[in-house]
């Protein structure tokens, strides 16, 4: 069995492993990482041999750490990364390059329709009628997008939202509230088969699905990293937040994962503070005293136009994994428009957690 894992901020780890009588056998570790001394590579394989095949990633990493020679130095590699590659091999996980990716980047659309499109397109991937899809959003109006489990009254100041003409919608994924304005926000969704994240923990799947955009930001001169659980940060502050939703496949089998990310290209922090209720608990958790300092926009960090940032992100994805231009089908759009009308603009859904 073959498994691969790109260590976040590091290098590719490849593991070949067999299973006999319920234990790992003949484990072989390779990759473009750096490792000293040479004997450490054989020690990794030896540590994996004989491990029960149902050992989780933490248990496998502990076996590797215990077997490494004293003074081992790993660059671009971690024992956890090797362990995750093993789990992906055992789960028969897919790789990004196993798929024909499709890009959807259409004109501005209402916030509620964006929520519906995420649900519809990911469901289509789950049943195999749509290829894995990168969808770049264009916002037709300013909005606050609250997480599936957030309290409406706790997150949004209704007077501030009314004063600034801000629509409030609830998405199907968890996580925190997003304040978006059409010219100031970059949002994209990945709708991917569950096989792409097989063998990854929930937390590891965030880092794995964010890795390409962190690379794209690096190509624009921004040193960014994944910050658990769902942020992308720089030394100047947070620049993006991610959220996920799993959609079950036919008959309860493997389905698809929705992973969407909102990035701050620019931000009107004063307006945001009038619309969102950002509590002291959240600020203290982020290690800052001012909501304005939590986010550092891409416009300032890159000096590029919003459209140029998006173009470079798309080009980076295309060079890595391939990407053909596509569109929302008429059937998908009709279903999304129905969902926007019956669900995502309904008071029952928006205030389902009052």
What pLDDT digit, counting tens, does each position of 277-326 carry?
985 445 444 444 445 555 778 999 999 999 999 999 999 999 999 999 99
pLDDT grade, residue 93 (50/70/90)?
very high
How much is the mean pLDDT over the chain? 93
pLDDT, one tens digit per residue, over 25-71 is: 999 999 999 999 999 999 999 999 999 999 999 999 999 999 999 99
Predicted confidence at residue 237, as pLDDT, reads: 86
Q: Label residue 22 exposed, middle or buried (CB < 10 Å: 0-12, 13-18, 19+).
A: exposed
What does the pLDDT look like over 324-351, one tens digit per residue? 999 999 999 999 999 999 999 999 999 9
A 10 A CB-CB count for 174 gives 14
Q: How far apart are CA 108 and CA 131, in angstroms?
A: 23
Quick: pLDDT tens for 175-209. Answer: 999 999 999 999 999 999 999 999 999 989 999 99
> Can you tell me the mean pLDDT for 151-173?
97
Mean pLDDT, residues 148-174 taken together: 97
pLDDT value, residue 292? 52
Which pLDDT tens digit goes with each residue over 265-287?
A: 999 999 999 999 985 445 444 44
Strand arrangement of the beta sheet that strand 23-31 belongs to: 2-6, 12-20, 23-31
Report helix, strand or coil for 3: strand
pLDDT at residue 280, rounded to an integer: 42
Q: In what order do the strands lie in the sheet with 324-325?
A: 225-227, 231-234, 237-247, 256-264, 185-193, 133-136, 102-105, 324-325
Instruction: Tell me the pLDDT band of 9, cut-offs 50, 70 and 90.
Output: confident
pLDDT at 24 over 70: yes
């Amino acid at each position: 069995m073959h498994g691969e894992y790109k260590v976040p901020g590091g290098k590719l780890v490849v593991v070949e492993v067999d299973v006999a009588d319920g234990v790992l056998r003949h484990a072989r570790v390779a990759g473009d990482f750096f490792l000293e001394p040479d004997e450490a590579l054989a020690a990794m394989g030896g540590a994996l041999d004989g491990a029960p095949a149902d050992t989780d990633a933490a248990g496998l990493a502990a076996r590797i750490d215990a077997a490494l020679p004293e003074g081992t130095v790993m660059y671009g590699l971690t024992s956890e990364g090797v362990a995750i590659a093993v789990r992906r091999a055992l789960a028969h996980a897919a790789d990004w390059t196993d798929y024909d990716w499709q890009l959807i980047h259409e004109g501005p659309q209402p916030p509620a329709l964006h929520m519906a499109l995420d649900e519809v397109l990911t469901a289509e991937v789950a049943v195999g009628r749509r290829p894995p899809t990168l969808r770049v959003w264009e916002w037709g109006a300013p909005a606050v997008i609250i997480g599936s489990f957030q309290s409406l009254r706790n997150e949004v100041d209704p007077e501030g939202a009314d004063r600034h003409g801000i629509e409030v919608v609830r998405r199907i994924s968890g996580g925190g509230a997003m304040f978006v304005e059409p010219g100031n926000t970059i949002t994209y969704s990945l709708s991917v088969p569950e096989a792409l994240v097989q063998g990854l923990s929930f937390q590891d799947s965030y880092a794995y699905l964010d890795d390409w955009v962190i690379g794209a930001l690096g190509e624009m001169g921004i040193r960014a990293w994944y910050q658990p659980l769902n942020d992308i940060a720089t030394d100047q502050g947070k620049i993006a937040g991610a959220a996920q939703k799993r959609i079950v496949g036919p008959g309860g089998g493997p389905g698809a994962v929705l992973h969407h990310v909102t990035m701050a290209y620019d931000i009107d922090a004063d307006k945001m503070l009038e619309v969102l209720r950002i509590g002291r608990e959240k600020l203290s958790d982020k290690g800052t005293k001012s909501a304005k300092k939590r986010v550092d926009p891409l416009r300032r960090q890159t000096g590029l136009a919003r459209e140029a940032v998006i173009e470079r992100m798309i080009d980076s994805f295309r060079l890595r994994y391939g990407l053909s231009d596509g569109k929302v089908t008429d059937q998908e759009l009709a279903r999304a428009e129905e969902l926007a009308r019956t669900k995502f603009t309904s008071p029952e859904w928006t205030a389902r957690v009052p």
